[in-house]
Structure 1
Amino acid sequence: MDVTFSNVYQHSQHQCQISPDNKYVANASGTTVVIRGHSEKMIVMHVFETNHPVDWMGWAPNSQYLATMNLQHSIANVWSINDTNTKITLSDRRFGMAQAWWSPDSSTLLVSSDLDLRITLWMFIKNEIKYLYQPKIMDIGCVPSPDGKYMAIVEKKENKDYVNILDGKSFVLLQHFVLETTDVVKLVWSPDSLFLAAIDNCLYYKVVIYRLDGQQEFSYSAYEHGLGIKSIAWHGKLLAIGSYDGSIRLINTSSWQVVTTLSQANIIKAGKQEALTIYEEYQLPNMTQPTLDAKVGYQLISRRPLPLPLLRPEYNKHDPSIGIGECHFCMNGSLLATKNDAMPTTLWIWDLRTLDVCLIILQMNPVRHIKWNPKRPHLLAMVCGDENVYLVYPDANAALKIVPIAVPIGK
């Protein structure tokens, strides 16, 4: 696999984003936003200047607009890629600005105010403004459906959680219904946009599935006592629920039945798991000459039983490092990557055709982010806070292998 690197460019607050159509790269440095062509030469296409430092920026789904926002002065700008003379300025100093989302059709910027008092719908194409009051934003936000037809927003009213289903273009209210949850913290659409899952607070193990008309389709609770759901992923007809008890429960959304429970034990035993592939990262001898080659390698671990690195939970903290914090399907849904926060240096990859673990990777540093390639089904990228990007992909024999790639660091 060939990997190329661009020159080093200035940026602030890690503000660097590739456009959804993969044609542009935007990076912000202070009050300057630079748009480059996404190619080996990284040619500068546009340079935009703002009056205040950029705290947030986001591409529109159609890649024709870029929004930037300064939180201190409550000012947002919308820039046109095709018409560089177009600059739309939005300001709300009375209520402030906290977060922003694009509408699915790229015609509206949704901005939440400080203290979640309201959401402002800046319809800059139509030159109109609408308001939604009493939203419950937190980490939920404004959740568009995969097909772009709907937008789901949680509303808190009279100590109850409600969901507003809005039209994705006109933002006309289509449905409004109460949730059978105590304190909803996350909404997840089904891949076909026909169902909406509401996940309750981690103090209550509960996920409720609703149809678009507000009727409850399914409700699931694995246990009553103990912390509940920590992560969730939906692909095709499989719903994966990562729990604080260290297990992943797979639900078939055609029959709404639990298919199996995947458990991540901290000791790999002999017998059935004797042939399980486990790779451990290790440090290569120091290199005297500067090189772009990675300074780490991998060795196959065959000894059993094999204890995996495990953190001692700190239950006096509000969010102890336990449970399945990462849970991601690959593009075609045949593999599932998971990470237990109590074992932060260990990545598990499950083969959903056999419903069994097929690979365990032991890193020297905690795994921070994992991401499946959206076009190649079994290609996974992983970063651990060091100088490497780790790629996991099948070799000629279809067995998964790990390739660390050292990223050059500019001086």
Structure 2
Amino acid sequence: MSTRPSRQEACVQGEKEAAPGWRAAPPRREHSPPEPTPPASLLPLQASCVQYRLVVRDANTLQICQLYTCLDQIQHIEWSADSLFILCALYKRGLVQVWSLEQPEWHCKIDEGSAGLVASCWSPDGRHILNTTEFHLRITVWSLCTKSVSYIKYPKACQQGITFTRDGRYLALAERRDCKDYVSILVCSDWQLLRHFDTDTQDLAGIEWAPNGCVLAAWDSCLEYKILLYSLDGRLLSTFCAYEWSLGIKSVAWSPSSQFLAVGSYDGKVRILNHVTWKMITEFGHPATINNPKIVVYKEAEKSPPLVLGRLAFPPPRAAAGPLSSTESEWRQRSHWDGHQALQCRLARRSSGNTASQGRAQGQALCAAAKFPPSPVFHEVASVPVSLQTLKPAADRANPRIGIGALAFSPDNCFLATRSDSVPTAVWIWDIQKLRLLAVLEQLSAVRCFQWDPRQARLAICTGGGKVYLWSPAGCVSVQVPGEGDFQVLSVCWHPSGDSLALLSKDHFCLCFLETEQGVGTAFGQRGDHT
């Protein structure tokens, strides 16, 4: 890795010595974002892009706060950890443009030139940008403060080849040189190499730090079942291999406490490793038939349930799972707010904020203020035995739809949600404390995405339709997204506070505010700041 002054294209416009002043704020990471505590002068903001325009809105009212124009179509946007800067990656032009929220007239342009650009991201301190060139020849680290640049050679083009510790002190990078796999650990303060070691893998597929930053997990490609655990100084702690001569690891997830490592495999099982011996303590299968009467199976049904009072906002902790129906939902103006609805959405005809897909929608933000009865689709508790819909994979095609495609731990470390690609319509909820299956949610359509509330055990699920599904230990409920046209929810994204939820379609996004014990939560828990 070498260091030299930055090229002219990376010069900071309007600043001679450094970027604008920044305020101290706790880092907000992608892996497990904490509750934000922004300065009083900063509003909760939401960013989205439409072709070459970057739109920054007030997350409570959807009013436009800033509008920036880039040099070309935007493919990727990302906030800095302190939310004071936002980068726009223009991959086709090999450019990255950085905008300041405090000083809109300040901006920065980074040009990778003939090397090209395939990926761009922030460092945890929010003052460095990591650009990956075409063909993964190198990673360039640009500093907004000193206007210097550093090079990291030999990055490997794999599924998850770069990972930061949660405290932002260290970077682990997967490398490929001389037909062998390596891992480099760098110090993020000065980008100096701390450790460099080879991995006993045939084709390294991904690496990920434990939340406590003490252990690094590295796993092989699907052709060989192998996962290796390394300490911060590069010592091999353990190697785990469940079987041989078959497709291996498909997904990996750490528990928030770093006590467990869940490994999803192509054989349809999840294996849980413990942090003491790094041995398997249990494995979770995903059978097509549920026979255990202690397992609650929620089946989505196309009929109206009886109107029963219920709530999913703050369920009793560790409550027994049972049916839950939503009360009649009403979408009201601010002046008619009565504080009793469980969910409120706001529809904006803009491109989604977490991706840079082409936004073809036009017009300004539209606030939904319609009144409608409960969704005709709800969940009923099915009697065992229950046969789930299975998908037979095509034997003559690559990347067969089998195995555990997604898994995630709840923030309280009590539950694990999984999805088997051979049973695409079901989400499995596992009780980690008792190491058993707790509930199964069977949808009418294939599950596209699910994500845990970052503050409590509440799971949001979408299937590509016009509804969002919520599960907690108290039960399950589905809510129809209001608005004009056919709104297809393709992914969901929680606010770090857990009070609001973003629903994303191809061309639109919808903001949902959920009820809390104090009332209706906004992005920062201020009641009455939205309609």
Alignment partner for residue 385 of structure 1, among 461, 464, 468?
464
After TM superposition, list the pairs within 5 Å mapping 1:61-80 onto structure 2: 61-80=81-100
- Higher relative contact order, structure no. (Cα contacts within 8 Å, ≥ 6 residues apart): 2
Per-residue CA distance 1:245-280 (angstroms, 9 max, x = gap): 1111111112222111111111122xxx02321111
- Partners of 2:429 and 2:440 within 8 A in 1: yes
User: Equivalent residue for 1:360?
Assistant: 440
1:297 matched residue in structure 2: 378
CA displacement at 1:290 relative to structure 2:
8.2
Aligned partner of residue 213 in structure 1, secondary structure: coil
Alignment partners' CA distance in 2, 1:405 and 1:128: 50
Q: Which residue number corresponds to residue 50 of structure 1?
A: 70
Match in the other structure for 2:269: 247
Is the alpha carbon distance of 1:19 and 1:78 closer, same or farther for their aligned partners in structure 2, counting shifts above 3 Å?
Answer: farther
Tell whether the 8 Å contact from 2:89 to 2:96 is kept in structure 1 after alignment: yes
User: One-letter code of the match for 1:78?
Assistant: V
Aligned to 2:450: 370
Q: Could you tell me whether the CA contact under 8 Å between 2:401 and 2:421 is conserved in 1?
A: yes
Q: What is the CA distance between 1:137 and its match in structure 2?
A: 3.0
The answer to whether residue 296 in structure 2 is matched with residue 277 in structure 1 is yes
Distance in 2 separating the partners of 1:375 and 1:19: 8
Moved more, 401-410 or 291-300: 291-300
What secondary structure, in the 3-state scheme, does the structure 1 residue paired with 2:114 have? coil
What are the superposed Cα offsets for residues 227-262 of structure 1, whole Å, 9 maximum, x if unpaired? 111111111211111111111111111222211111
Would the alpha carbon gap of residues 326 and 150 (structure 1) be closer, same or farther in structure 2, given more than 3 Å must change? same
How do 1:75-114 and structure 2 match up within 5 A? 75-114=95-134
User: Whole-Å Cα distance in 2 between the matches of residues 49 and 85 of structure 1?
Assistant: 12
Shift of 1:107: 1.0
Contact 1:370 1:381 in 2 (8 A): yes
2:55 corresponds in structure 1 to 34
Counterpart AA for 2:157 = I
Q: TM (normalized to structure 2)?
A: 0.69
Q: Given that residues 162 and 207 in structure 2 are in contact (C-alpha distance below 8 angstroms), is that contact kept between their aligned partners in structure 1?
A: no
The match for 1:320 is 400
Q: Deviations over 1:267-297 (max 9, x none)?
A: 122xxx0232111101137xxx983742311
* Counterpart residue type for residue 290 of structure 2: I
Q: Structure 2 unaligned runs (5+)?
A: 1-32, 39-43, 305-369, 486-531
Residue 157 of structure 2 corresponds to residue 157 of structure 1? no
CA contact (8 A) 2:379 2:478 kept: no
Q: Which moved more, 1:291-300 or 1:209-218?
A: 291-300
SS across alignment from 2:115: coil
Q: Distance in 1 between matches of 2:87 and 2:266?
A: 37
> How much has 1:32 moved relative to structure 2?
1.3
Match of 2:473 in 1: 394
Gaps spanning 5+ residues in structure 1: where?
A: 1-17, 396-400
- RMSD value, Cα: 1.8
Q: Name the CA shift for 1:138/1:365 in 2 (closer, same or farther; >3 Å).
A: same
CA distance in 1, matches of 2:290, 2:159: 35
d(CA) in 2 for partners of 1:363, 1:322: 18
Q: Greater shift after overlay, 199-208 or 55-64?
A: 55-64
Which whole-Å CA distance do the structure 2 matches of 1:100 and 1:295 have between them? Answer: 43
Match runs of 1:338-349 below 5 Å? 338-349=418-429
Do the aligned residues in 2 keep the contact of 1:60 with 1:66 (CA within 8 Å)? yes
4+ runs of 1 displaced by more than 4 Å? none
Q: Aligned to 1:146, what secondary structure does the other structure show?
A: coil
The whole-number CA distance in structure 2 between the counterparts of 1:97 and 1:265 is 44
| Mapped contact 2:130–2:140 kept (Cα < 8 A) | yes
| 8 Å Cα contact 2:290-2:384 kept in structure 1 | no
The corresponding residue for 1:133 is 153
Task: Give identity over the alignment, percent.
Answer: 30
